[in-house]
Amino acid sequence: MAEELLRTEPRRPTHDSVGKRRGVTWRSVLVGLIVAVLNAYWVQHVEALQAMMLSTAISLLMNAVFTLLVISLLNLLLERFVPRLAFNQPELLLIYSMACLGTVGGSRDFNQLLIPVMTWSFQMANPGNNWDALFNKDLPGWLTVRDPQALRGLYEGGMNLYQTDILSAWILPIAMWTLFATALVVVMICANLLIRKQWLDSEHLACPLVDLPVEISQPRRLLGRKLFWLGLGLTVALDTWNSFAMVYPVLPEVAINCVNIGAALKARPWNAVGIVFRAFYPMVIGMGYLMPSDFLFSCWFFYLFWKVEMVMGAAFGLDQIRDFPFANFQGFGAYLLFALYALWLGRGHLRRIYQSIVSPGSGPANDDESKHYRMAVAGIAGGMAFLVWFSVRMGMQAWLGLVFFLIYYVLAVAVTRMRAQFGAPIHDLSQTEPDRIITAVLGSRTIPKKGLIGMAMYFWFSRTYRPMPMAYQLEAIRMQERSGASLRGIAQVLVVATTIGFIAATWTSLHYNYQFGAAAEGHIIPGQSTFAKLAAWLSNPEGTRWGPTIAIVVGGAVTLFLQTMRLRYVNWPFHPLGFALAGAFEMNVVWMQLLIAWLAKTIASTIGLVLHQPLYKFLTMQ
C-alpha cells in the first residue's frame, strides 16, 4: 500500500517513461543510502557535537555538493576503465538528492532538538523552575525518556549505550518519532506530486539551486569550465589560508568571517539596531547573483528598513513593547499570502485534479494520471489524519493539531515556492513557528494545558524551516526531469533517504553523548528554550496579543500592495518576498553578500547595455 501510495508513475510504461534513462536503480539507491547516512553523521557531528558550523542554514548544502563532486570525478575513472559500471547523469543526481535529504534528516532544525525535547525537562527540573509540578507529569511517556539511569548516561557520559536497560528506554520513543517524521515527509512528497506539473511545466519555475549540481553531474563538461575551477580554487585557497591563520596567529587572517559591526553602536537609540554582521562569503554572493534583481534588491533594502525602524522605535520608546516592530509576525503574514497566491495561480490545475479524481476520464488527464493524483491526495489525507491522530494521542485537541499542521504546511509550501522561483540562499522563519502564531492570535489562556504541551514538543521540527524537506524533494524531481530521466520510484526513495538520515543522526547523537556526555559544551543543543516557553505559557497565560495579530494582517496587506504594484509597473523594484525574508535572523549574516551581488549584477547589466547600445543603433538604422 505504501509503495502504491508513493508511486510517481504507473507500473506499465507510458509515453512519459518509454526510452528514458532511469535515475532510480538498485546501485544508485544503494550508494545514495550510504551517502545519506554519511552526510547525516557528518552534519550531526559538525553542527551538534562539535558546534563548529551551521551548514544547513544555507539553502545549497555544501557537504552534498562536495559529495556529488567527488563521486562525479570518480565516475570519470569508471567511464575510462570500466564503462559498464559508470553511473549516468540521473543516477548521480539521485545520489546527490539522497545526500541532501540525509543531511536534512540529521540537521539542527529537523532532528537535533529531538533528544532534548525527549529528555531536557526531566534532567533540568529543580525546585526553582518547578517543572515537575508544572508539566513533567503530563508529558507523554511513550514519547519521552525519564529513566534516571538513561538520563545520567546521556548527560554525564562515560556509559555504554548498548545495554539492554538503556536501549529499552529509547526504542519506543525513537520508533514513534521516526514514524511521525516519515509521515511528515510523506505529506510533503504527495503535495509535490500535485503541484509539480503546475509549477515546473506550466509556470516554468527555474529552480536555480539545481543548476550547480546539474553541471557537476556532467564532469567532462565541467572539466573544461576554467572559470569554475578558478573560482573554486580561489575559495579553497582563501578558506585554507584562514584555517592556518587560526592555528598559527602569526599569519594574517583575511577578513571574510562574521563580525558584528552593530556592537560598535553603544548609545541609545542607535544600539537598538542589534546584530549587524559584516561578512564576505563567496558562495552566498554567487547564489545571490543568480537571483532576480528585484528580489535581490528587496532583501537587503528591507533588511536595512527593519533596522531603521528598530532605531526609530527606540527613539520614541516603542522598543519597550514586546517583539516590536513585529518583523517576524509581519513576515508570517507575507508568507501566508504568498502561499495562498501561489495556490490561486494554480487553481485551474487544482480544478483539473479534482475533476480527474471525482470523474476519471472526463477531464484532460488520462487514466494513469488520474490514478497518480488519487494516490497523492490519498497520501496527503492519510498523512494528515495520522499526524492529527498522533497529536490527539499526545493530549492535544484534534482541531488544534489540524490548525498546527495546516500552518506548518502552508509555510512549507511558501518556502518551497520561494526556492523554486528565486533560489533564495536562506529561508529562516524563526519566531514564526505555528505555536507562536496560534498562542499570539488565540491566546495561551484559551488553549488547554495538554495542547500547549503538545505544541511545545513539536518545536524540534517546526523551529525555523531552514532545512525544509519539501523544497529538496521538488528540486530532486526537477533535476531528474532536466536530465531526461523517468520519475518512476523517486518518491519512495526520497522519503526513505530522509528517514534513514533521521535514524542515522539520532543514533550518532546518542552514541557520542553516552560516550562524552551531553552536558559538555557543544555536545547537545539545549532544550531550555522549548520548556522555558512552555513554562511561560502555563505560568503566565495570556489572551490574544493584538500587536502580533495586527502585524500579521499588516504583513499580508503590505505583501498584497507590493505584488499589485509589481503586476502594474514593469520596473517596480520592491518584491513582497524580499519584505518577508528581510526580517529573518539569518539575514543578519547574508545581507552584505546580497548587497554585493546586487551591485555586481547591476554594474554588469549596465556595462552590457552600454556596450551593446552602438550595435543596437546600427542594426535599427539598417
pLDDT of residue 74: 94
pLDDT of residue 570: 83
What cell numbers appear for 562 in the block? 507590493
Taking the C-alpha atoms of residue 51 and residue 93, their distance in angstroms, rounded to an integer, is 29
In angstroms, the Cα distances linking 422 to 93, 146, 408, 537 are 21, 45, 21, 37
> What is the H or E stretch that residue 485 is in?
strand 485-486
pLDDT of residue 51: 66
What cell numbers appear for 76 in the block? 570519470
Taking the C-alpha atoms of residue 16 and residue 9, their distance in angstroms, rounded to an integer, is 9
User: 419, 209 in Cβ contact below 8 A?
Assistant: yes
pLDDT of residue 20: 62
What cell numbers appear for 270 in the block? 542607535
Q: Which pairing describes strands 277-278 and 21-22: parallel, antiparallel, or unpaired?
A: unpaired
Residue 130: left if φ>0, alpha if ψ -120 to 50, beta else—which one? left
Ordered alpha helix ranges (H), 217-326: 219-223, 226-247, 282-289, 293-315
* Helix and strand element counts for the chain (H, E): 25, 4
User: For the stretch 328-361, what's the b/e string if a residue is b when 16 or more beta carbons lie within 10 angstroms of its beta carbon?
Assistant: bbbbbbbbbbbbeebbeebeebeebbebbbeebe
Taking the C-alpha atoms of residue 260 and residue 588, their distance in angstroms, rounded to an integer, is 9
Residues 318-328 pLDDT 10s = 888 888 889 88
Smallest CA-to-CA distance from 64 within 24, 104, 91, 23 is with 104
pLDDT of residue 613: 59
Residue 157: left if φ>0, alpha if ψ -120 to 50, beta else—which one? left
Taking the C-alpha atoms of residue 161 and residue 157, their distance in angstroms, rounded to an integer, is 9
In angstroms, the Cα distances linking 69 to 65, 95, 210 are 6, 11, 14
pLDDT of residue 361: 62
Domain ranges across the chain: 2-254+346-544
Taking the C-alpha atoms of residue 257 and residue 259, their distance in angstroms, rounded to an integer, is 6
Taking the C-alpha atoms of residue 170 and residue 327, their distance in angstroms, rounded to an integer, is 39
What cell numbers appear for 249 in the block? 596567529
Cβ neighbourhood burial of 136 (10 Å; 0-12, 13-18, 19+): middle
Smallest CA-to-CA distance from 175 within 460, 497, 467, 506 is with 506
- Kindly give the parts of the chain with pLDDT less than 70: 1-20, 51-53, 360-368, 521-524, 609, 611-622
Taking the model in full, what pTM does it have? 0.90
Cβ neighbourhood burial of 552 (10 Å; 0-12, 13-18, 19+): buried
In angstroms, the Cα distances linking 97 to 275, 431, 479 are 34, 29, 9
Taking the C-alpha atoms of residue 18 and residue 35, their distance in angstroms, rounded to an integer, is 29
pLDDT of residue 456: 94
Q: Amino acid identity of 541?
A: P
Q: Which pairing describes strands 485-486 and 21-22: parallel, antiparallel, or unpaired?
A: parallel
Supply φ then ψ for residue 23, to 5 degrees. -85, -30
User: For the chain, what is the largest distance between any 2 Cα atoms, rounded to a whole number of angstroms?
Assistant: 88
